[in-house]
Structures are given as C-alpha cells and as structure tokens.
Structure 1
Amino acid sequence: MGEEGLDGRLVAAVRAGDAESVRALLEEGADPDALDADGLPVLCTAVAAYDDPVAEALMEGGADPDRPLPDGTTPLLRAIDLGSPAVFSTVLGGEPRLRLPEEARERHLTLARTWYENGAAEELRRRTGATGPAETVRVQDDEYSHVDQVTLGGLTVRAGHGAVLTSLEWAFRVLPPVDELVARGLKYPDEDHVDRWSATWILSRRRSKETWLAVTAFRHHPDPAHRRFVLDFLRIRSLTGASDRNSYDKEESELFAAWAAEETDVDVLVRVLDVFAGYERAEREAVGLRYAGHPNPRVRSEVPYLLGTYGSPLTPTARTALLALVRDPAPEVRSRVGAALGTWHDLTPEVSEALLSLVRDPDAGVRGAAAAALARSPDRTPAGAEALAALLDHEELLIRLEAVYGLAERNDPRCVEGLARIGPLDPAFDDDHRRSAVRRYQWRMEEEASAAAEQ
C-alpha cells in the first residue's frame, strides 16, 4: 500500500484514539506529521481530543511539536492553550530549552502565564465574547491527578495552566520564588489537583539547600494546608532519591523529630509520623514511644513502623511497646501491629505468639493483615504452619490465598490442596505471587523427586 494509504489510515487511527494502531502505522512508514482533513497535522487532532496515548505515539514516531500552523501557532502552543498538563508534557518533547530560541520560549511562557493568571473561564470569555457562567466538570488528567474542564462560548479547555506554567518554567530553567510555587500548589484545596502535584514535583527537583530551607520553613505556617504541602514535598524527595551532594537526610530526620513533638493537628501529625517512618534514623523509636499511648487511634496506627527497621531486631523497649499495642482496642492499630510484627526479623517466642494471636483476631481486617505478615515472615515453627492451615477455609478469598502462599513458602504440601479448594480464579490472579508460589513448590518437589530417583 502506498504512502497516501498509510497516512490515511494513520489519520483514521488518530481520530479513533487507537494508539496501538498509530504506532504500528508509524513503524510501517506513515508520516507522523500527516495532515487531517482540516489541514492540520494529526498531532493537533490528538491534542484537541486530550488523547495523551496517541499524542505520545506520534511524538515517539517523530511528530514535530514546533511545526508552524496556518494561524501562527504550533501543536505545542495549542497544547498550552488547552491546559492539559498530561498532554502538554507529552507534546513538550525533548530538550525544549535548546530546541526553542529565546523569543519562542518567552512566547510559550507568556501564553501559559496569561491563562493561569486570568483563569480558564475568564480567558474563554475574553477570547469568545461569551457571557454567562461556564460549564465546569472534573476530569482525570493523568493516572494520579485531576483537573477542571471548562466549556464556554463553544470552546473547551482544561484549567491545568498552573501546572503547565510550572512545568514549562522548569523545562526552560526559569526558577520562580519558592513562595510563588507553593501558592500555585495550594490555590485549589484538593490535594489531587494537577497544579499541586506539579508544584511539589518541580520543587522536589530543585535540589539546592536554599529551596529545601524555603519549603520546609512552611512547616511553621498556621494553616495546616501549608504544613501538609511540606510533607508532600518531603515524601516525593524521599521517594525519588537524591545524590550525596544534595541529600538532607540528617536535617530531615531532625526536622521530623522536632515537628512530631510540636504538631497539634491530628491529620498533619499522622502524616508527619508516616513520612518519618521512611527514614532509618535512631530518633524514630523515641518518637514512636512518645505516641504509643496517644488518644487518637490514627496516631497510634503510625507507631509500629516507627519502632523498628526492616530486617533488624527490635530493641527491648520497642518490643515491649509493640506487644502492648497487640491488645489495642482499635482494629486499625492491631492491623498495623500485625503487619509490622511480620516485617521485623525479630520472631522471639513472644513476638511469634503475638502474631499468631492476631491471626485469630475477631476483626477480619486484623486477621487479613496478620495472615499476610505471617505468610511472609521468617517464622518456620509448626505453630505458624498450623495457624496458616487453619485459614485455608476462611470466608475471605485473599486470606485463603495468603494462607496458601505461606504454606508454599514453608514447603507444606497442604498449599496444593488449599489452592485447589479455592477453585477457579479471576484472570486478574494469573500472575499473582501467591498462586505462583504453589507452582514453585510443585517444581521444587518434582526436582527433589527426580534427584532422589537418580541416586
């Protein structure tokens, strides 16, 4: 089939939102800048449809985001106009600071800033002359964040221009004041808004000590929303890692220890303890012990993971505190204790008995967490195997699967019967590690039998 036919099929695939076919046609030789019926490249079609997967396929296939269009714009400028951070980030392409001359960079920044400062509805009124209220609906923009989609005067945009502006500034290495980025992130109260995500992400990329100090200073802000923003920033930094040169592990550990002692808002305190649990510092245990008797169960639920470090034994003081929480009146606390007991490689007789008692807890959620912890724990006692076997007929599927998994890891033949009793599973469980553990057990038994036969 000729090039014209390939391009026609590409246009159809883009319109249909079929990213897989778009990729296949590009591999066959279709033009990534093929024109749609309106005379615009198909990348503009994907941008207008907020079709990030198709836009990504076109960009990977060589589509030009800077191609001049009849109205004087480009696909990238149109992506900025339409305000979807997900689509914009895809169409931004590689090395935009080097690719675009200074005048073009300033044009892009001005466009994004105009939309953000005016607001989507007001900018639509200015452009269309329409009056009356705008129609606004919340939509998911990417896997993690949402944004308002605004329609007025026959035009529709997404109000993610704050995130677009923040990302564009970073791409061009324009560094606005930290206070400005924090204000952008907190403009909308919803913590899943694209503007908040972009602000925290970009600030976490700015690894200077000045940025770290400026952001963490907001932990003293009287508004809890600002303090939660700091925690989001610190969590992202810890998850994305840092080089030795710009790691502030010690400073952050000291900050958390002081913050935990001072915080009065329960929601913020819970988050402080949760993030602090990710830092392997000696101060964690003292903080955990301080809050082991806190009146709020949400706070006590954070204590177990402050009292130990994965793969290390508990101190006697931490062990005593953790065992006391086994009897906590709140199921959510006992559930976290059960998960922690299986994590620490500290299965003394006391700890083992406590974990087994939680497997028999009257609350189903506690039993499930304890069963999963026991299955993964280094406990290889007969009592542990019997406790798992007792769960093979449990009314909850996931608890039965945990029991099967734990028995398979202990080379206990009852895992095979347990899985058989569960019966057919949904295809979503085809690659489930608990089911796979039974197959690995069977292979081990077959190999052992074959080796024995050869001797």
Structure 2
Amino acid sequence: MAADQVPADARLVEAVRARDEDAVWAALGAGADPDVRGGDGLPVLCAAVAGFDHAVANALVTMGADPDLPLPDGTTPLLRAVDLGSYAVLGAVLGEDPALRLGPAERERLLGLARSWYATGARAELRRRTGAEGPGESLLIEEEFCQVEQVSLGGFTVRAGHGAVLTTLEWTFRIATPVDELVARAVRQPDDRHVDGAACQYVLAQRPDRATWEAVMAYRRHPDPRHRRFTASFLTTNRMVPPALVPSFEEEKEDELLAVWAAEETDGEVLAEVLQALLMRDHPGTEGLALRHADHPDREVRTVATHCLGAGGQPFSAEVTACLLRLARDEWPPVRAGVARRLENRPLTEEFRAVLLALAGDEDARVRLSAGCALAESDASDDRTGEVADALAALSDEEDQRARVVGAYGLVVRGDRRAAEAVDRVGALPWHEYRYDHRAEAIWAWRTGGNAEGT
C-alpha cells in the first residue's frame, strides 16, 4: 500500500515510534487523531514522553492531544512527564492554561511528585523504587540549550531536572517561590548550564517587580562566586524575555551596575557572565571594557570580550583592529571563531582577508566554519579572488553539513565553476532546520533553476 493510502492514524503511530517530527506533523495535518493509541494501548503522547521526545510531544499537544487523559495506572501523560524529570518534555506537555485547567488536587499531585523527586535525588529515588543498587548508567544530555544528567538504574531511566520541573510548575500555578529558594536551587548544581539554574533564571526574569530585582541584585556581593555568577546570568536572561516583562524602572541602573562590576570582578567565570550581560545592552563603555579584558588569562573572558569588539556595527578603531588581529592567533578556538564572526558582513581589508583565509584552514572545525561564513558573505558580488573561492571549495568538503552549505553558497553567488559539485555534496537540507537560512534558499533556488554561472 502506498504511503499516502495508509490511514493517517497508523501513519501517526509509526511516526511517533520513529521519532520523526516532520512525519508526525504530516500525519496530524492529514487528520490523524492526536490521542490515537499505539500498540501498547496507550495514547501516543505517552510514547513521546517516555522517549523524552519533546518535539513530537509538542506537536501532539499543539494539535489537541490531551495531557490530562486518565491512564489505566491512574496517571496522566502530564504526570508521567513530571515523573521523568525532563524540563523540555514538561514544557511541551503542559498545554494551555494549566493553572485554570487543573483543579487544586491535581495541581498539588504534580507539585508533590516534583518536590519528592527533587528532595530525594534521581539516583536515590530510582534505588528506592526499584531496589537496585550501584550508581547506574549516566549520560549528560543537551536539552533546551541546557544540560541535564540522564540516569538509568533498575530498568528505569529519568532525567535529573526535577528542580527545573518544580520551578516551572510553581510559576505555572501562580506560586511566588521566594527568591532565596530559587537562587539556592540554581547554585546547588555545579554546572551553570544545568536546567535547574536556567529555569530559575527564566522565572525570576518574568517577575518584574522591584522587590524581586533587588533581592537578586543583592547576590552580586555574595562571597561565593556561584551566587555572583547566577546574578550576572540573570541580567542576561532578563533581556531575553518579552520586552513587556523587563523591569524598565531599573534598566539604566542595571547598565551602570554592570559596567562597574566588570571593572571590579576578580573571578574569571563571573566576569565572563558580566561581560555577556553587558553585550546584551547598548552601553557605551562595553567595548572599552572588552579591550581591557581581551588578554585575560581566563579563556571564557577572552571569548566574550571578542564578541563585544565592534558590537553594534560601528567601524573598527585602530585599537580594536589591532586587538582582533592579535586574538586571531589565540590558543582557544572559540576566541579565533569569535574573531571570524566579528569580521562577517564587514568590508574586508587585505589584512582581514588574510586573517580569514588563515582561519579557514584552522585545525578546529568551528573556526573553519566561522571563517567560511565571513568569506562567503564578503563582497560577494565582486570578490572572486582565487584564494577565497578555493577556501570555500575546501569548506564544501567538510563533514559538517553547515560547513558544506556555507561553502556551496559562497561558490554559487560567485558563479564559480565548482558550484555544481559543491551543491551536490550539500545533500538534502531539512526544511525545519534551514527554512530561514538565506544560504539554503540560494542553494534551493540554484537547484531548481540555476547553473554553475550563478542564480
């Protein structure tokens, strides 16, 4: 039977099993029931939750799957999401207006489950539930631009993000958790990228009252660098939430506070966060502070300082130019990649072109990609120098598809004779990943009607 003749419900069950987000959306668009049962007799949303597949879970709930559907064991898909400790899956399964949709008893059941996991800890709770001993298996998982530990023990697997889950549920159910408690949750984790800290930052950034702001700011003087680092990260996060939620009454005060803080901070990790927060603002002193710290012994400080140079598109001063040329030889690859990004969409002098060509042959793939992006965009209408085209052709041989896209795009817009071969090497481009990428659009246009002379 042809694929388009298979009933939509059956296609949805198979797409969820295969973790194929595009196929899930296609089946739902064809009329599949988002609550259709799989081979285990449970709604397919349970399979997405159990597989930590937040993208598929989001598609199902968006199209009408019921996160509160009672299951034979007395749970619901939403309760199972809380149990598994995934911040991303919880966000996908919460659905619309959970504070209004759920009654007090169900809200407390969810909160109680999250509190219990968080208080006990993932490993200890798995041991209690299964009777298994030992540390189990552990993986560090990237989730929603953060990290979380995934623990497997006694035949069960969970993610240790129950602090983030609890914080999210409290905020969702209109519970104003004390600032000190949220900060304590955040700094309990040694990794700044842990989902627990990210959830606390996000919730605090959505509380635009003066008391919350002042309570968080008080930690900038804390003797423990972890607390100061959290405060600096908060000042970045609160510029990433919807503008209406930013406490505008403190914006100017924040900018000056950060500038003074950057000049005084002695801990490298904290200073990097402070500079990152300044980068989110249009403070006139940011570039001067970046120049001051560009040679800092902490590599993360140098990385953020590099990103601050020439921010806002202002022409490079002689001092900034000299600093960029020096940083292009830095031992830390993200610094060299940052130099390449600072040169993107800039008029390239011979000096900067030589820097980018050198970085395009760097030993680190991230640096080569960043340099290729800058070269591909550089004076694309008239920069057809053999060296630049050769560098782009080399990029089109990279293992990373993003690099092949950049290389092929650069050759296409230059009408280079190697464009056809480079475009072939790009391979299929997932639409959901490249739909807003102008370089992919140029490649698609070339495939449908272009030639080796350009589009």
Q: Structure 2: how far apart are the matches of 1:406 and 1:357? A: 17
Asked whether 1:322 is paired with 2:336, we answer no
Gaps of 5+ in 2: 1-6, 397-402
Structure 1 counterpart SS, 2:425: coil
1:172–1:306 CA distance, 2 compared to 1 (3 A): same
Amino acid at match of 2:165: V
Q: What is the CA distance between 1:311 and its match in structure 2?
A: 3.6
Structure 1 counterpart SS, 2:143: coil
Amino acid at match of 2:182: L
Q: Structure 2: how far apart are the matches of 1:152 and 1:300? A: 41
Q: What is the CA distance between 1:174 and its match in structure 2?
A: 0.8
1:364–1:429 CA distance, 2 compared to 1 (3 A): farther
Q: Structure 2: how far apart are the matches of 1:305 and 1:276? A: 11
Number of the residue aligned with 1:249: 251
How many aligned residue pairs are there? 424
Q: Is the 8 A contact 1:304 1:322 kept in 2?
A: no
1:244–1:372 CA distance, 2 compared to 1 (3 A): same
* Larger CA deviation: 320-329 vs 79-88: 320-329
Q: Is the 8 A contact 2:8 2:32 kept in 1?
A: yes
1:363–1:182 CA distance, 2 compared to 1 (3 A): same
Q: What is the CA distance between 1:24 and its match in structure 2?
A: 5.1
1:31–1:211 CA distance, 2 compared to 1 (3 A): same
Q: Is the 8 A contact 1:288 1:306 kept in 2?
A: yes
Number of the residue aligned with 1:452: none
Normalization by structure 1: what TM-score? 0.75
Number of the residue aligned with 1:122: 124
Number of the residue aligned with 2:400: none
Q: Which has the larger radius of gyration?
A: 1
**Pairwise CA RMSD:** 4.3
The C-alpha deviation readout for 1:227-276, integer Å capped at 9, x for no partner, is: 33233322222233423862343222212211111111223323322432
Q: What is the CA distance between 1:199 and its match in structure 2?
A: 2.0
The C-alpha deviation readout for 1:200-242, integer Å capped at 9, x for no partner, is: 2222222223223322332323333333323332222223342
Structure 2 counterpart SS, 1:64: coil
* Larger CA deviation: 253-262 vs 186-195: 186-195
Q: Is the 8 A contact 1:33 1:63 kept in 2?
A: yes
Q: Structure 2: how far apart are the matches of 1:257 and 1:404? A: 42
1:427–1:114 CA distance, 2 compared to 1 (3 A): same
Q: What is the CA distance between 1:172 and its match in structure 2?
A: 0.5
Q: What is the CA distance between 1:23 and its match in structure 2?
A: 4.9
Q: Is the 8 A contact 2:201 2:233 kept in 1?
A: yes
Amino acid at match of 1:200: Q
* Larger CA deviation: 418-427 vs 197-206: 418-427
Kindly report which structure 2 residues correspond to 1:305-316, keeping only aligned pairs within 5 A, or say none: 305-313=307-315
Number of the residue aligned with 2:96: 94
Q: Structure 2: how far apart are the matches of 1:12 and 1:367? A: 39
The C-alpha deviation readout for 1:390-409, integer Å capped at 9, x for no partner, is: 32234842699979978987
Q: Is the 8 A contact 2:207 2:245 kept in 1?
A: no
Identity across the alignment (%): 44
Structure 2 counterpart SS, 1:149: strand
Structure 1 counterpart SS, 2:243: coil
1:204–1:358 CA distance, 2 compared to 1 (3 A): same
Q: Structure 2: how far apart are the matches of 1:400 and 1:15? A: 31
Asked whether 1:213 is paired with 2:211, we answer no
Amino acid at match of 1:325: C
Q: Structure 2: how far apart are the matches of 1:235 and 1:86? A: 21
Gaps of 5+ in 1: 448-455
Q: Is the 8 A contact 1:361 1:367 kept in 2?
A: no
Kindly report which structure 2 residues correspond to 1:39-438, keeping only aligned pairs within 5 A, or say none: 40-128=42-130, 130-138=131-139, 140=141, 142-243=143-244, 246-247=247-248, 248-291=250-293, 294=296, 299=301, 302-303=304-305, 305-313=307-315, 319-325=317-323, 328=326, 331-332=329-330, 336=338, 339-340=341-342, 352=349, 354-356=351-353, 358-359=355-356, 364-365=361-362, 373=374, 376=377, 385=383, 388-394=385-391, 396-397=394-395, 415-417=415-417, 419=419, 424-427=424-427, 433=438
1:254–1:54 CA distance, 2 compared to 1 (3 A): same
Q: Is the 8 A contact 1:334 1:358 kept in 2?
A: no
